[in-house]
Structure 1
Amino acid sequence: MQFTLEQISQLIEKRTGLAVQAQLGNVLDDILITQAGGNLKAYLSHLKDEPETSSIWQNLLDALTIGETYFLRDRAQFQLIKTQLLPQLILRRRQQNQLELHLWSAGCASGEEAYSLAITLHELLPDIDTWKITLIGTDINDKALQTAQRGVYRQWAFRHTDVNFQQRYFIPTPNGLQIKPHIQNMVSFQQANLLHPYPRKFDLILCRNVMLYFNPIYAQQAEMILHDALLPEGWLIISQAETLHYNRAYWQMTIIDNIPIFQKRSPSPYQLTASIPQPKPEPPPLAIPPAIQTLYHNDPLAAEHALHQWLIQYPHHAQAHILLANLLANRQKILEAHQHLDLALELNPLSADGYYIRAMLHLEEGNPAEAKKSLREALYCQRDHALAAFMLGSLYAKENKIDLAIRQWRKAQQLITHFKPDDRVSDISDLRVNQLRSLIASNLK
């Protein structure tokens, strides 16, 4: 069975680029066994014979991919797009008497990013009706694209927007907020695989938190496909937690307000007119001071105050946001906790602790489906996260999926084998190893 599981994971990486084995580990085995209905060899054969657009691949991709997104995600990047990149591109096109713009949201998930771009363009172009706008959102996951095409979103997708934004561009419906037609019609959604060349050329591509999850070989392939899809002097924006690792000679990196952006090199590169500082070496990560760590476990209110002060000095410290989110969650300050988790996961999209705390918030809000998704994301980021494995097993048990529950509990049991009984299971929890062992043993009876 193990050999067949490895063959399937290799096929997934080859077809999609996703480094599923390295990221998911045993969670991947559970997903594949469930998707295969118990017959892994037949499942492998079926996957080999079908394209990624087929239902068997789409069901698998929906189980594997992370669709965490919301409107105006990473405000600093959108502010840069709105105040510098697009205005200067628009000015250039007006001077050329060529009123057209071509934008691509690659890996758009459920569409919030693509619609955020459309709204930004609408605010920048008073004569937008005279422009030819090509704004395309693509994703490999058809279920996510169906959500994007419907354009109806729950309040959770608006957690970083104000009421005026929602009233201006959305219509209330019984199922959520519906994007207004004049914005919806600006965007075209299509299914696409980032390992396949795309047949259009663009001025600006957003591909954020996508290649982060790729096998390095396929990340290099995707980088070149994105490069080839840019018009001369076009711009690529990736998340602030990412960088381009390969083919750097093809790109000109510029840093504006600590945000790196990448321009396709050309014989006479188009430069922003703003004064742009040269890239500086990034300082080493700052550790949370031991005094705050001690307060975190012994005096939560004092720790909360200390973390607020720390974040005034170091606002981009992901782990501090995570610790503060956990303290706020314990005091039932759910919205504030979510806000700090959003910041932490923007700074470090592979923070397993961030996804774990988010799962606990979803449970507190009575949303076990989202909690299970966040726990899987935690294990995607850190396959040896014992708390996430234990809690995922508990959720499977509530769904009466006993075999899957037992697999997760035993995994958690194995992960804490070499810990001392009085050790904390995690920096974010006061639960001790002997306590977790007792809980697991009780569940396995």
Structure 2
Amino acid sequence: MPADSRRRPVRVGICGLGTVGSGTVNVMARNGEGIAARCGRPVEIVQIGARRDNPDCDTSALNVTREIFDVASNPEVDVLVELIGGTTVARELVLAAIANGKHVVTANKALIAEFGNELFAAAAERGVSIAYEASVAGGIPIIKSLREGLVSNRIQWLAGIINGTGNYILTEMRDQGRSFNEALAQAQALGYAEADPTFDVEGVDAAHKLVIMASLAFAMPLQFDKVYTEGISGIAIEDIRYADELGYRIKHLGIARATEHGIELRVHPTLIPRRRLIANVDGVMNAVLVQGDAVGPTMYYGPGAGAEATASAVIADIVDLARTLEAAPHQRVPSAGVAQGGCRTEARVPPMEEVVTSYYVRISAQDKPGVMSQVAQICSDQGISIEALIQHEPQPGETLVPVVILTSRAREVRLNQAVAKIQALDSVQGEVVRIRVETLG
């Protein structure tokens, strides 16, 4: 190939002109010279596929089509950037781009989490790459870190605050004393939460991101259907206060951990010692803590969403592809982090009942002698020790007293059996609240 062929511009087609699409156009227009210097050749947007224009960016000098599949078939496009969201049309679009020999960059976590195995196989067969840094934690380079920076390590576990909406809500509950519903309404008023916040507050968004990180950390196939997912809508303001009294903060974590029984994949509210750095990540910010056997703990912090923060990750992927555009497929970093066929297909994801951790348990009990001895006996029968206890005097006129305990580490099935028996006591009223505890140390 002639030496000057490497100076040919990398030609980019963008599908989707929403928040991230407009941010990508703006950052490329503003920083084009520096981007070109870093990849050794110009990067040009040659076509945009979007159903409508976006007033937040200027596309008057660009080729815009209302038919996004035109971009996938355009022979002038080297790299297709998928920013339309969803999974049905996005999957068809990416497969069409791959079939036409185009590399793909995407910010679509649901697409990768649910269809990544299929897409990576198709890309490997066609000799092209799929890059998806922007699919997890916005502008934080966690995908590159797991796929490249930490490759010498055996990853032992990772834990992340990977949904800014949920983190904002829990921060408001702690700092402002708001109820969950009040904090959610505030998040919606500020544009942090959608009108239907289910994906954010019930953990689906975090589960998509967790399974992507876990697949890279543990060289395993994407298994979104195996992730245990629990949201934050059941967290009460009193749990925030009791956690603080015990020296903890409640965060909505995605956790992937290698154990002798397999790779745990779980998203749920978690008590973390407040001295931990990740416990002090507040508002809409994201953070991921990774424990490697060689490097030890490393933490990655930054904005998990936003037009230009996410565009930063999109363009980083474009630059990575531009640097290796003419390289043979085997010379590029594999999309899945390992060569096709190199995943640990035997990697087991144990059910939640097998997970071992500590627990925060809150009970509403009648203020009479013997209740705690009954609770302690039930826990003891299941091999669970009580490590800490809070029991305040009942308020005037109240007959129920809140009792909060921290347990030793126990298998989840044992804790479930203990909770069921505690809840069946005549002296206990209402639902027994249980939140998992992780020291992350």
Q: Whose helix fraction is larger, Structure 1's or Structure 2's?
A: 1
Q: Which has the higher contact order (CA 8 A, sep 6+)?
A: 2
Larger radius of gyration: 2
As a proportion of its length, which structure holds more strand? 2
TM-score of the pair, normalised by structure 1: 0.31
TM-score for the superposition, normalised by structure 2: 0.31
